[in-house]
Structure 1
């Protein structure tokens, strides 16, 4: 019995000794050579993760994590430091560990990485980070070929190339359209902006021949690193997640919005080291949607909400739908925070998949199906607070709405036509008013209808006697940011000015103008 017990204990001790660990230092790379010198000090209390577990460095910047043969070790960038960048301005905060490489897939994925070195170290550069800063956000570049990469570059990237005073940018998935060989030209285009750029994986960025969800990101990883990671800037903690379950666990076909358990374990472990007064910004591809719907697995959203319950300042970002939408989740949706959780589904840089007429630069206009012009967002952070702006590509910053009204209306006759305002960043919570000439301001009614200005764009393709250059736009859908007002016809004949003002969720006022004509009726009443 004693001999057996000793053998058992010895075997257990051997297993504990052989339990693989990845270890290393997070340090201030003062000479920026990517090598830890003896004189370079480690940085304490920095989170490091293997994609599930999260640990913090000790007083000397040292960490240890469990090792396995398919993981990515990553540092969670702390505030007050910047990360090294590669030649495409992609932050270098991770080390892929796949000794055998990726499975045999259509696209190459990750080449065999071999054994880990004795230490996996992460260099950081000390930096003065203001708590007030702005992030640039792109939804769905989604180019299916090199021609569309060119549209993306000339129509979007060129407009912000060399932008100043913006410390970081994020693309919210669907970086490309199924052809993963386009990752490289996409990254080249993005690099021209000239700022550190973080990426989210979308459902068109996956290895479709992967047999299980954990391998659907192999080629994405080879180009951009982990698809679940986190970083800090000022008092904002960003968490980037892959929220595409592929293949769909219900039937093995297609995909479903949601998270694996290990991903939510990572979020829970990560947030243990984040102060409760920080703003938590989650970025993923598929919007959280509404509970009870079928686009997102309800229990995954609920667990995410439960993990975030102790954080009073939160925001989630998504794209995917090629529509712009503001959602506010409350207690009826499973959110238990003191104020609703704001989910912003960002309009896309590809718009309606590069459709529509060509503009004067030969680039598709590509207005989205809800009437939102293609563009991109700016998020202005100040401590744990934020404001949102949407920038229509190729338009002035002040272009925040489209106003639709008939060109001419019969004087004195009632009309069922209306004045419509599509305030691109709007939701039912906003106040929209209008006035005619110098008349009094009157509230507009929030409606859920297709935007008539977009309807007009689409059906122009169906009524033309000669094809336009470009490709017909998609059919209209209900807009979630549309208001309607009646048309006064009891005024003098002539042109009448329409003024619109919108008070947004941040208390700011936006204005727009249009006009309509009143003319004497033709024919009998």
Structure 2
């Protein structure tokens, strides 16, 4: 016990030092965040006297990560600008709001967001004495599926309607999937569209997680840490994680704005505090679990560009290297591709790292003619139709699938052939196949009239369909409906072969078989005529 009076013979300097230390300790304690993660038995999102804390649940302030003690209590360093969130453990679920958003975070900004064109977080006031989070137990299977959207990106309410009608409507009431993730560019610069977008996705009826993209930014922010203020007000943290079954999901903001190279535009990459969060987060993840990292801008460089800071990709790979099963997801490009990082490209972990750049729900930015659903066809620049990905999870393993919007689930490729080819002699006609979810690690074969399968040549090139669409716009004498599509780009999932013309005149059935790198087989067929 300390006495307020000076003890005889005690130097005044010593009391000053002790006083300063006590003041510092008091200040630090005043900046601590405390709370309880508890089992919300009556699901009222209030910690009631009879409700027990849940031990060993990870909680974070966006940088540090700690675990609750045996009573469900946690303590974290605090600041005047942070979001406290729970990292959902497997076998539990959060309450969800009217927009199907899991309620897993508390936004603490006593003074609110800086003044920006689009409003951010309103002043939250003093830090509560206890920030508590309620969870409820749930049966969570190790085998399940989830929906992955790339770039909904509506610029207008009309385009929100296109997204709603062309994508969301076919998923409403679908009970096959457990939750969904949107991989950024939730809207197209107009942040007042966040809630119309949320209203659309909520119709699906699944818990939904949202990634921050370069069109979800406060462009008038002067620093990167303030560019997501409106996003935080609507969606919560831009960097967080959660568990489902034997999979650990990490959601990251990988948009550096303003671009640190010249202060203009943006660049793909991570801040130091984000990588520190990933490091601290992964401490509590079993090494044999599957780790899926989702962000907006792909870590792959494409079209000869420099879209992502190489050193940040290397740092992310360093953090993931000890985990045996990994996958990363992105969108942003408005085309679809797979990339595989081995030791020759900086990956230091087991096998290779698979990066899947997912096709978009807005397709080619809602361009092109109207389809039978009265929404823009929006075929992407690589020939991929608009749609979304499905991840099928089995324990710590995954399979991916790409669902073309408005089509049967079996629709995985387009076969382009001449309608008529001359018989005999040498023909320059080709079979060109766009296997939408394909990659350089896949193999394609074709056969005619059920003869022997012949291998096709992997040949990244322009897709004939999207090239024709471009030419149609140039050769019409009246303007076609809709918006002009973007120029074609080299598609990474094209295969070619010379079309057989040595057969008898007449119609012939041409069948194509795709065998992907996961060992799955897909087929489709068409016909052509020899004369």
Shorter-chain TM-score category? Answer: over 0.9
> What's the offset of the Cα at 1:187?
0.4
Deviations 1:77-116 (A, max 9, x none): 0000001101111111000000000001000111000012
Deviation at 1:117, TM superposition (A): 1.4
- 8 Å CA contact 1:409–1:517 kept in 2: the answer is yes
Match of 2:110 among 96, 99, 105: 99
1:164 maps to 175
Please report how far the alpha carbon of residue 463 of structure 1 lies from its aligned counterpart in structure 2 after TM superposition.
1.2
The alignment status of 1:204 with 2:235, answered yes or no, reads no
1:460-499 equivalent positions in 2, closer than 5 A: 460-499=472-511
- For residues 124 and 429 of structure 2, the distance between their equivalents in structure 1, rounded to whole angstroms, comes to 65
2:37·2:73 contact (CA, 8 Å) conserved in 1? Answer: yes
Alignment partners' CA distance in 1, 2:81 and 2:471: 51
**Which of 17, 26, 30 pairs up with 1:17?**
26
Task: Specify which of 160, 165, 168 is matched with residue 149 of structure 1.
Answer: 160
Match of 1:135 in 2: 146
Is 1:247–2:258 an aligned residue pair?
yes
Query: Which segment drifts farther, 287-296 or 153-162?
Result: 287-296
Task: Quote the residue 2:4 is aligned against.
Answer: none
Could you tell me how far 1:9 is from its partner in structure 2?
Answer: 2.6
Question: Which residue of 67, 75, 80 maps to 2:78?
Answer: 67
Between the aligned partners of 1:438 and 1:31, the Cα distance in structure 2 is: 62
Whether the 8 Å contact between 1:227 and 1:241 is mirrored in structure 2 is yes
Alignment partners' CA distance in 2, 1:389 and 1:57: 37
The offset of 1:290, in angstroms, is 4.1
Distance 1:414 1:429 in 2: 31
Q: Indicate which of 12, 15, 19 corresponds to 1:6.
A: 15
Q: Cα deviations across residues 2-21 of structure 1 (Å, max 9, x unaligned)?
A: 32233123212211122110
Aligned to 1:340: 352
In 2, the alpha carbon distance for the partners of 1:250 and 1:416 equals 49
> Does the Cα contact within 8 Å between 1:290 and 1:333 map onto a contact in 2?
no
Q: How is 1:378-389 mapped onto 2 (pairs within 5 angstroms)? A: 378-389=390-401
Match of 2:44 in 1: 33
- 1:222 maps to 233
Q: Map of 1:313-462 to 2, 5 A cutoff?
A: 313-462=325-474
Summarize deviations over 1:229-262 as a string: whole Å, max 9, x none: 0000000000000000000000000000000000
Alignment of 1:82-93 (within 5 A): 82-93=93-104
How far, CA to CA, are the matches of 1:293 and 1:305 in structure 2?
Answer: 21
Match of 2:6 in 1: none
Q: TM-score, normalised by structure 2?
A: 0.96
Q: Structure 2 stretches of 5 or more lacking a match?
A: 1-9
TM-score (norm 1): 0.98
Structure 1 residues 217-237: Cα deviation after superposition (integer angstroms, max 9, x where no partner): 000000100000000000000
Matches within 5 A, 1:212-291: 212-290=223-301
SS in 2 for 1:363: coil
Question: Partner of 2:324 in structure 1?
Answer: 312
2:11 and 2:262 map into 1 onto residues whose CA distance is: 53
Mapped pair 1:50 → 2:61? yes
The answer to which of 409-418 and 49-58 deviates more is 409-418
Contact (CA 8 Å) 2:150, 2:330: kept in 1 or not?
A: yes
Worse-superposed segment, 10-19 or 137-146: 10-19
**Residues 329-387 of structure 1, C-alpha deviations (whole Å, 9 max, x = no match):** 01011101121000000000000000011012221000000000000111000100000
Partner of 1:108: 119
Contact 1:167/1:195, CA 8 A, preserved across alignment: yes
RMSD between aligned residues: 1.1
Match of 1:356, SS state, is coil
Q: Give 1:293 deviation, angstroms.
A: 5.4
Moved segments of 4+, more than 3 Å: 290-293
Kindly indicate whether the alpha-carbon contact (under 8 Å) linking 1:404 and 1:421 is maintained by their aligned counterparts in 2: yes
Is 1:121 matched with 2:132?
A: yes
Mean CA deviation greater in 414-423 or 78-87: 414-423
Residue deviations 1:161-214 (CA, integer Å, cap 9, x gap)? 111031110000000000000001000001100010000000000000000000
Q: Which moved more, 1:452-461 or 1:17-26?
A: 452-461
Deviation at 1:466, TM superposition (A): 2.0
Q: Secondary structure at the match of 1:471?
A: coil
Question: Which whole-Å CA distance do the structure 2 matches of 1:364 and 1:429 have between them?
Answer: 32
In structure 2, the residue corresponding to 1:357 is in which secondary structure? coil
- Alpha-carbon deviations, 1:246-294, whole Å to 9, x = none? 0000000000000000000000000001111110000000001149951
User: Could you say what secondary structure the match of 2:168 adopts?
Assistant: helix
Paired residue secondary structure (1:484): strand
Q: For 2:269 and 2:139, how far apart are their aligned partners in 1?
A: 37
CA distance in 1, matches of 2:419, 2:67: 64
